Structure 1
Amino acid sequence: MTMVLAALPALTVASGPALMPYKDVSLAIDPATPRIATAVHGGPPALLPGGPGQPSQPDGRLPGGAQALVWAFATGECGQERWGPFDTEAFAGLNVAAFAAAGVPYIVATGGEAGGFHCASNAGMARFLARYDSALLRGIDFDIERDQSDAQIADLMARVAFGLRHRPGLRWSVTLATHAATDGSHQSLNATGERVLAAARSAGVLAHLVVNLMVMNYGPAQPRHCPLREAAAGAAAACDMGAAGLQAARNVQARHGIALSRIALTPMLGRNDVADNRFSLADARRLAADVRASGLEGLHFWSLDRDRACAGDADALSPLCHGLPGLAPLGYSRAMAQALAEALAGTAAR
């Protein structure tokens, strides 16, 4: 029997690009009662979403002015997916109910760097969608980083086609690694990203997908990887992490014909895995302003739990801090939310 889900109207979370951080759901969570939580403020973990006036979350239901939260990551086969060691039904039931009751939009992200997500049947996708369904489910994201066969990628694009028929109001996205070349090559996506776009074209869904670029970890500071910062004589070259996001988007637009309005960006706060790729607070403001001014679809970041300095302002690579000194908790979130709002206000005033 074919399972058909009722279509819901598109959910608008902002007049313009929304700030939608990723949340590693494995962090700060109680496995016995797996509600999404964060300790980004310091102190005991606070459940998400929260509420206005709570000491642990003075910004409101989501910290730092975020407008939606991306749950990361579901892995395995759709309909039988896992969220790490947690009971899937308990995780879904508790968190869907909490976000729906609070009126907070959420996106369910799958795959990721450490795990794969597969979906071989429409029935499996229907079960997956039904498990996370509510009026606040904004979208499904396929983060495709691990080795996946052409057949597995084609399956995911077929499931997007199914979703577009049965849930046209949802935002369907693919999250892909990118470079941001300035050498005239328009180098952007790697081989995996190229295969994903080819499969999306074959399935007839590319025009309906949001392509979310991981604007991070470009590699050595060279024009074939990223725009370069101006440096004093004798200083080492460095990627301009603020300018690189828009450059990556323009490269994808030029090379693959994807409109900027279908492209979102996801930087990694502070120190990236490539140690000399450092995304500063100034970079965050620049990138958010570029997202709004250029009509890009949205702005994510990796990740909510990293939006705080490491203990002792240590230069560390951690899932719980960004590795740059002198920043208050949620400094990046607030800076990007403010830059989006200011750019929006400036557009409205013209």
Structure 2
Amino acid sequence: MRHLLSFLGAAMLAGAVHAAPAVVVSPYKHLPQHWPDDSVITVAQGALLAQAGRSAALTWAFATGECGSETWNGRPGQAVAHANTKAFERAGVDYIVSTGGQGGVFTCASDAGMERFIARYDTPRLLGFDFDIEAEQTPAQIRALTDRIAVAQRKHPRLRFSFTVATHAASDGSQASLNPMAERVLAAVRASGIKDYVLNLMVMDYGPASSKVCVLRGERCDMGASALQAARNVHAKYGVPFAQIELTPMIGVNDVVENVFTLEDAATVAHGVRELGLAGLHYWSLDRDTPCEAKGADARCSSMPGVPAGAYWKAFSQAVRR
């Protein structure tokens, strides 16, 4: 771990003063995807991330439970923080701590709990926190969380706070994008008075191809064009500035197997992120950025046998090169 992180951070230590990148580009690293009984987040593709220089970052996924007593797939938050934060700081590698996720719930009922949560992971390399809210949270829980974040933001102005939500990418003129849960999240963020929040759109799993949910290319969803269409729809329909929108595609074969995100799509999205001035570009996931012969979505690979390992990272890194 120490060797890999040192290699990952080698290109990032040229300056003594660290500044967060204007555009955050980072893959998600699913914490359970590592050696059994090891709470250390492994970085199998450290050399690939090092190619991105100062833009290299990792998004850790996912903390669940109540803030201040959160766990990571059953592991105590303090154990995970102890195993990772100082190692990332020494290596000069930026990171984002993500919460919730598919089937996961993260709540926060007190400002004291939020402060314990933030302090646990805080180092100079911490870019901020992401709150992935997909299902099974009540409006009261969401509002309690956003109220706590608003207070924390005033205490920690250097940190970015993002909210990951599901979206469609309608191309039929309806501007259909955020689902009802995502609309509730956005409304709570605004009601709590959170400033400069980032709305992270999950541009994946649109379902059967239709102009009601995506941009069509023949009889399939054009995944690259659809990702950018989602950003345009959210900007136009909800008034969210482009500079506060970021995108997270699922590379390769999605859970909806007819939704396939190709390398061509990755290049399209990277170019669009630059052109629209979006806040960031992430992808699910670091572990999947390798080829395999699987027929459907696989947590260990992209299910794209002809695509080399690390190819998606190389394509996405173009989002920050000028």
Give the TM-score normalised by structure 1.
0.83
Q: Which amino acid is the alignment partner of residue 258 of structure 1?
A: V
Matches within 5 A, 1:248-267: 248-267=230-249
Q: CA deviation at 1:34?
A: 1.5
Q: Structure 1 vs Structure 2: percent identity of aligned residues? A: 48
Matches within 5 A, 1:19-34: 19-31=25-37, 33-34=38-39
Alpha-carbon distance in 1 for matches of 2:159, 2:54: 22
Matches within 5 A, 1:58-73: 58-59=47-48, 61=50, 67-73=56-62
Q: CA deviation at 1:35?
A: 1.0
- Assess if the C-alpha contact under 8 Å between 2:244 and 2:279 holds in 1: yes
Cα–Cα, structure 1 residues 60 and 330, in superposed 2: closer, same or farther, change >3 Å?
Answer: closer
Q: Which secondary structure does the structure 1 equivalent of 2:48 belong to? A: coil
Alpha-carbon distance in 1 for matches of 2:221, 2:264: 14
Q: How many residues align?
A: 306
Q: CA deviation at 1:315?
A: 2.1
Alpha-carbon distance in 1 for matches of 2:52, 2:298: 20
Query: Quick one: which of 296, 299, 307 aligns to 1:319?
Result: 299
Matches within 5 A, 1:210-249: 210-229=198-217, 231=218, 237-249=219-231
Larger strand share, 1 or 2: 2
Q: CA deviation at 1:309?
A: 1.2
Q: Which secondary structure does the structure 2 equivalent of 1:21 belong to? A: strand
Q: CA deviation at 1:11?
A: 6.2
Unaligned 5+ runs, structure 2: 1-16
2:196 matched residue in structure 1: 208
Q: CA deviation at 1:170?
A: 0.3
Q: Which secondary structure does the structure 2 equivalent of 1:186 belong to? A: coil
1:17 matched residue in structure 2: 23
Superposed CA deviations along residues 202-260 of structure 1, whole A, max 9, x for unmatched, are: 1112x42100000001111111100001x3xxxxx100001011100010011110000
The answer to whether 1:329 aligns with 2:309 is yes
Alpha-carbon distance in 2 for matches of 1:75, 1:63: 30
Q: Which amino acid is the alignment partner of residue 230 of structure 2?
A: A
Alpha-carbon distance in 2 for matches of 1:13, 1:20: 12
Q: Which amino acid is the alignment partner of residue 34 of structure 2?
A: A
2:40 matched residue in structure 1: 35
Q: CA deviation at 1:80?
A: 0.4
1:103 matched residue in structure 2: 92
Q: Which amino acid is the alignment partner of residue 304 of structure 2?
A: L
2:288 matched residue in structure 1: 306
Cα–Cα, structure 1 residues 11 and 243, in superposed 2: closer, same or farther, change >3 Å?
Answer: farther
Alpha-carbon distance in 1 for matches of 2:76, 2:142: 26
Cα–Cα, structure 1 residues 11 and 76, in superposed 2: closer, same or farther, change >3 Å?
Answer: farther
Alpha-carbon distance in 1 for matches of 2:165, 2:65: 19
Unaligned 5+ runs, structure 1: 1-9, 42-56, 232-236, 346-350
Q: Which amino acid is the alignment partner of residue 316 of structure 2?
A: M
Alpha-carbon distance in 2 for matches of 1:28, 1:296: 31
